[in-house]
Every structure is written in structure tokens, then in C-alpha cells.
Structure 1
Amino acid sequence: MRVFKSSVLIVIASFLISSFAFAQEYKHEVIVKDLSNPWGFTFLPDNSMLITEKKGELIHFKNGKKTKINSLPSIEQYGQGGLMDIELHPDFANNRYIYFTYIASHGSGRGYNTVLMRAIFKDGKLSEKKILYKASPNSTRGQHFGSRIAFDREGYVYFSIGDRGDRDANPQDVTRDGGKIYRLHDDGKIPEDNPFVKKSGAKKAIYSFGHRNPQGMETNPFTGEIWTHEHGPRGGDEINIIEKGINYGWPKASFGINYSGSKFTNNTSLPGMKDPLHHWTPSIAPSGMAFISSNNYGTLKGSLLVGSLKFEYVSVCTIENDKVIKEEKILEGLGRVRSIEQGNDGFIYVGIENLGIVKLLPKK
């Protein structure tokens, strides 16, 4: 009996040690301090950063100093919305274009909806600001604005807008904004091959629909596909690969339930609707997304990183044949993870609420 107990204790101890060792292997360094909600950030060619604070501030971080950019449009914070994602044009080095999303009240209806804007960033100032898309109508609901931005290999710009809390009207109707992934030319023009260009009454910028609130979007550096993740309600957070004209199911099919505990659908899958490649039930509240494509982290190359707002960690998702076959948690307990990017140097940087931006250090 003593031998058996000793063996069990050894096994348990080994498990705890190995689990603890993994958690401790990846340390971090705080690079940008004192940020309240770094909703998005991106690296310029000189390795400086442009950082969006949800409260409506755009910060240029260079040589250890933060400089507030004062030439933004008027931006308010309302519910889950404010100044959100930011992305560089693929040819930024030559054209100096940046793209960012925020909420605005102009247009039809009371309240707010999501805007995609392009501007030139040069010499610490924004100029030639141009609204490329404004969702309508506005809504007084404070949730589900989206919003992430990504460019594909052909130079199209994609962006997400959440269902604005109106799940029964917006996500399944392509004549309405909300609950969609959109695709535009870099100047805001509608691509002629967008899937609903010829559909009467449809919003021509829509590329896919049936989404709830996508707060992660990244171009897979290995395949060129657009990957997203989105919030479910109680359960049903999803990872999806975005395809032209595809219906991703919300709210007709979902692994989630109402926050009250009741069901809103009995279907987790339906004909004609695309199933997620992965889902989290219960929800982790995902935000921020990046692939590791550098060699800086050894065997983690090829992994997908997803931040958890709810549980305050980064999930390292091992991908095999477009499936998540394993998850590991790193950077636990630092705070709500809002944004993740791989820098020009191949290192991973993570935006954490009420902390700042930290650099993920490789194992020694």
C-alpha cells in the first residue's frame, strides 16, 4: 500500500511540476507601461508602435516614449465601443496609410455604429482622413461593435462588425449591417466579385455573415486565409476561417446558451451553414489573435495565439489540419488580454488592460 501511495504521489508531483514548468518557461517583459485598454496596436517599419486606447487616444510609442496623436476624428467611448483596431497598409513604407475602426454617431438613427477610416500617418500627424465605411443605422445598444482589421495577400482590407446586440435581425440579413465580415479595396471601393454585389438591397461590402462579435482577425501567414474568432454568449466562442459568401450560423446554430441559462436554439450545426473549426464552451471571451511564424519560440512556430478577457491568459493553440488539437495557457493572471501581435522582430507582444504591452520572452 505504501509503495502504491508513493507511486501515486510521484505521478501527481511530476504532473504538477511539469504543468508549473510550462507556465514558468515563458516569462514576459513590460514594453509599454500604463495603458488602460490597448484595444489594438501595430508596428511601424522603424519598430515604433501605434497603439489605440479604447477611450479615444492614439499613441505613438517610440524610443521608450509615448506621444499622443492629436489629429484623430472626434471619438467617444460608449459601452463596448470607442477607438478600436488599427492596421498598416501592406505598402505603408511608401504610402503611409493606416486604417482604424471606431464608433461614431453620425448617420441615421440614434446611438452609434462602427466606422472604418483610412488616413496618412507622417511626421507624427494624421492627414487625408477618409471614412471608408460607416455601418448603419446607429443603435443605442452598447455591445458588439466588433472590430478587427486585416489585409489579405491581394491587398484587400477586411474588417468585422458585431451584431450590435440585435441577434434576431442583423446577422442573418445581408441587407443589414452587423454580424458580418466586410471586404473592400484599400481605397474603400466595393470589389466587383464580392458575393452580394448583385443581390438587390444587400450591403455590397459584406463578405461573410452569421457572426456574433468578432474581436480577433488575422491573415494566416502560412496559407493566406483570413482567420477570425468571435464571442459566443454563455459558450460557443468560435474560431472560423472566412470564406466568400458563407453563413457562419449565428444565431441559428451555436454551442452557446442565453446568459440566463435558457436556450435560444437547439442546433449546433445546420445545413448550408459553416461549422466553426473550434469552439470554447464555457466561453473564454476571446480578444486579440496572432500566429507565430518566426523561429523565436521553437516548437510553438505555427501556433495560433488567442487572448482571454474572462480568464486573463493567452491560449497557445496547436493547429493541425485546420483543427485545434491542443491548448496551453501562458501569461496567466496579468490582466484581461485585449490584443496580440507578432512584431517585426518575430517576437510576440500582448496588450493587457490596466497594464500595457508586454513582450513574450522565449524559453532559455
Structure 2
Amino acid sequence: MKNHFIYMLVLFLGTVACAQKQRVDDVPLTSNTNYTYEVIVSELTNPWGLEVLPDGSMLITEKSGELIHFKNGKKTLVANVPEVVSRGQGGLLDIRLHPDYESNGWIYFTYSSPEGEEDGAMTALMRAKLVNNTLIKKELLYKGSPNTRKGQHFGSRVRFDKNGDLFFSIGERGERDANPQDITRDGGKIYRLYDDGSVPKDNPFVRKADAKEAIYSYGHRNPQGIAVHPETGKIWIHEHGPRGGDEINIPESGKNYGWPVISYGVNYSGTSFTDITKKEGMEQPLYYWVPSIAPSGMAFAYETGDKHLDGNLLIGSLKFEYLELDILKEGRVVAREKLLEDIGRVRNVINHNGTIYVGVEGKGIVKLIKK
């Protein structure tokens, strides 16, 4: 009887251990071949950011530092772009129009800036106006610090929420153990500003000793996707994990998202850097990927006229070279589909008035089309 009890106890503990290791939120990935694409802008190297102007022309950032105005089938380089350090993952990054662009003309973009006393670069946010394919009235709204010569984890995406507040991301710049958990340092954060670069008084760390008051949430690794939920108005992000542990999060004011104290990933070498995935005071991701898909670009599908797409989330995969459709139900990922398989490294995806545009490295800007 005693041996039977011990056997049953060992079996139970083994079952619990296996259950803890199993990903309870894992969602199988299927292929959906009902979609294809049309090339809109060809021969681009790394189309990091994309915006569509009111006249239908496009502004496209190349990571190398070029800002392209694509109009009537012709690419024109925009002049007076700020100095960009194109190193590793740094360069000219995201671009976004002001919600009232037609009345004020402001364009916002992030880039790796060498400004500052230290050698190297750090992510910066600037706004400017476009006149005769030249940037004028440039205003530096935020510059992370300190600079570093490291080439990884600059972020960065820019989005306005429904209230007109400006959110942008800066990755932790390869300073895993220094930046993301420290609110007195830039890096590994989501930031919130007013459109003129001033800090909202209700930001969570305003008047905190030595804190970077623009910080909205912290404990992030390298967020390269931001989108605004069309119904709730909430900001959603995704961020790169290391080897495994890419995450979708819905950042909330003042919350800590755990990196690198908690993670579902391991070092690129396969070794462990943390043995915990949960900790009190640190937020769990809405969804995480193992293995990593290397997500970049993020958009909600809505007003597309396609019932299968609308209400769901589109995310680019750099690693596996497809566009991922995440089917949502009650705010959770319940199904995943590969669209545009083997198209190339998907760097960006946007929804412009119901049309889905995708930026693909080495290919250009393509439009998603249902067959």
C-alpha cells in the first residue's frame, strides 16, 4: 500500500511538472493560400517604415537613411533628412503622419541618432514638414541616451492613439541587465508624449526621482510593432524575444513587462539566462511565440471588406518570411495563419483605409489581395 502511494505521488508530481512546461496558450500555425499580392513599389532594400499621404503617394523609410517619396510611379529622395547611423539594426526607422496632417503638415519619424557626447548612437524621435520633397522645420522631440556603439535593439515604431497621444518604442540597445528595468535610463521602454514632444502630466513616472518622465511602460526587449486596437483604442505592441519568447503585450501605464527577469526564451546559444517565467509585479504577455518568428510590423485589419481578416491582427515574420494573421477572440489569439508564405523577410505592415500594405526586404511594398 505504501509503495502504491509513493508511485501515485511520483506520477502526480510528474504530471504537474509536465503541465507546467506545456504552453497552455500555444496556438497551432496553419497555412492560408487564399491571399496573394501585388507589387506597388519595387526594388527596395529594407523598407522599414511606410505612410500614405492624402494624395495617395507614399513616404518610405529605407533603413540605410534614405526617405523616399513615391508618387506617380516615381521614387524621389527627400532632402534634409537628419544624420542617421546605419549600424546593425539601427538606421532610419518608422514614420507616421500626425492625425491632423492635412491641417498641420507634421510628419514624425524615429531613427538612430549620433547626437550626444558619447560615441555611437541611440534612438531619437523627430518631427518635420515636407515641402518640395525637402524636410523643413525639423524638431527633435526626444533623444534617448546614452549613445552606444552596439548595433542591436533600437526599436522602433511610432503610433498616435485615439486621443492624439504619441507612443513610440526604444529597444534596450543590447544592455539587457542595465536598461529595461531601470526607469532612470532610456532603452527597453514604451514612451508617451504629446504631439509637440511635451510630457503628459499623468505619465506614470512624472516627478519620480531621476526618472525618464516620458516612459509609459518598461521591461521591454526590442518592440518593433505598435498598433492601435480599432475598437478599444488601446495600444498593442509586439517585441522580439531572444531565442524564443517573442511577445504580444498591451502596455499599461507604469507596468513592468519583465525583461530580462522573466522570459519564455533562452540565449541564442541555447543556454538559460533566467529560470522563471512569472513574477509578482511583472506582466504576462497576451501571447508569446516559441520558437521565435522575429516579428516586425503590426496592424489590425479592419474596414478591409474581408470578413476573415477584419477584427484580427497582422504581423510580419522576418525569420520565417511570411505575414502572420492572428485570429482574435475576446482579446486572445485563438488561431494563427501563414499568409504570403516565402515572400521574404516581412519588415512592416500597415492598414491604410482598409488596404493592407506590406514592406518586404529586398522586394519592396506590396498590397495584400484575396484570390
Taking structure 1 as the reference length, the TM-score comes to: 0.92
Task: In structure 2, give the amino acid aligned to 1:350.
Answer: V
C-alpha contact (below 8 Å) 1:96/1:122 kept by paired residues:
no
SS for the counterpart of 1:276 is: coil
What whole-Å deviation, never above 9, does each CA across 1:223-245 have from its counterpart, x for those lacking one? 10000000000000000011100
Match of 2:199 in 1: 190
Indicate conservation of the 8 Å contact 1:296/1:347, yes or no.
no
AA aligned opposite 1:110: D
Q: What SS does the corresponding residue of 2:43 show, helix, strand or coil?
A: strand
Distance (whole Å) between structure 2 residues aligned to residue 74 and residue 265 of structure 1: 38
Would the aligned equivalents of 2:304 and 2:355 in 1 still touch at CA under 8 Å? no
Q: Equivalent residue for 1:353?
A: 361
Q: Is the 8 A contact 2:180 2:219 kept in 1?
A: yes
**CA offsets, 1:30-57, max 9 Å, x none?**
0000000000101111121100000000
Find 1:318's aligned residue among 320, 323, 327: 327
Q: Root-mean-square deviation (CA), in Å? A: 1.0
CA contact (8 A) 2:85 2:121 kept: no
Which residues in structure 2 correspond to 1:291-306 (within 5 Å)? 291-306=300-315
Structure 2 match to 1:123: 132
Take 2:118 and 2:304, find their aligned partners in 1: how far apart are those partners? 49
Is residue 67 from structure 1 mapped to residue 76 from structure 2 by the alignment?
Answer: yes
CA–CA separation in structure 2 for the residues paired with 1:110 and 1:260: 29
Q: What's the counterpart of residue 4 of structure 1?
A: none
Match of 1:12 in 2: none
User: Residue 299 of structure 1: CA displacement?
Assistant: 2.1
Structure-to-structure mapping, 1:172-321, within 5 angstroms: 172-321=181-330
Q: Distance in 1 between matches of 2:250 and 2:208?
A: 24
* Match among 76, 82, 87 for residue 78 of structure 1: 87
- SS, match of residue 94 in structure 1: helix
Amino acid at match of 2:47: P
Deviation of 1:135 after TM superposition, in Å, equals 0.4
Structural mapping, 1:29-178, within 5 Å: 29-178=38-187
| Aligned mates of 1:251, 1:193 — CA distance in 2 | 27
Q: CA deviation at 1:211?
A: 0.1
What is residue 3 of structure 2 aligned with on the other side?
none
Q: Which runs of 5+ in 1 are unaligned?
A: 1-18
The whole-number CA distance in structure 1 between the counterparts of 2:277 and 2:118 is: 34
Shift of 1:122: 3.0
CA distance, structure 1, for counterparts of residue 149 and residue 83 of structure 2? 18
- Pick one of 322, 338, 341 that aligns with 2:347: 338
Distance 2:122 2:46 in 1: 20
Which secondary structure does the structure 1 equivalent of 2:308 belong to?
Answer: helix
Distance 1:244 1:181 in 2: 10
The 8 Å contact of residues 262 and 277 in structure 2, kept in 1 or not, is answered as yes
Separation in structure 2 between the aligned mates of residue 79 and residue 39 of structure 1, nearest angstrom: 14
In 2, the alpha carbon distance for the partners of 1:193 and 1:76 equals 33
Q: Distance between the aligned counterparts of 1:56 and 1:306, measured in 2?
A: 24
Matched positions, count: 342
Residue 83 of structure 2 contacts residue 114 of structure 2 at CA under 8 Å; is this kept in 1?
A: no
Q: Distance in 2 between matches of 1:342 and 1:259?
A: 33
Inter-partner Cα distance in structure 2 for 1:29 and 1:141: 37
1:267 Cα offset (Å): 1.1
Corresponding residue for residue 6 of structure 1? none
Residue 295 of structure 1: how far off its partner (Å) = 3.5
Amino acid at match of 1:289: M
Question: Given residue 98 of structure 2, which amino acid in structure 1 is its aligned partner?
Answer: H
In 2, the alpha carbon distance for the partners of 1:353 and 1:35 equals 7
Deviation for aligned residue 1:105: 1.4
Q: Aligned partners of 1:76, 1:206: CA distance in 2, in Å?
A: 24
Identity of aligned residues (%): 59
| Residues 44 and 361, structure 2, Cα contact 8 Å, conserved in 1 | yes
**2:348 is paired with a residue of what secondary structure?**
strand
Cα distance in 1 for partners of 2:230, 2:43 equals 31
Distance 1:340 1:300 in 2: 14
Deviates more, 1:70-79 or 1:158-167: 70-79
CA distance in 2, matches of 1:117, 1:106: 12
1:276 positional shift: 0.4
5+ residue gaps, structure 2, are 1-29
Q: Give, in angstroms, the shift of residue 76 of structure 1.
A: 2.6
| Structure 2 Cα separation of the partners of residues 137 and 347 of structure 1 | 39
* Whole-angstrom CA distance in 2 between matches of 1:153 and 1:233: 32
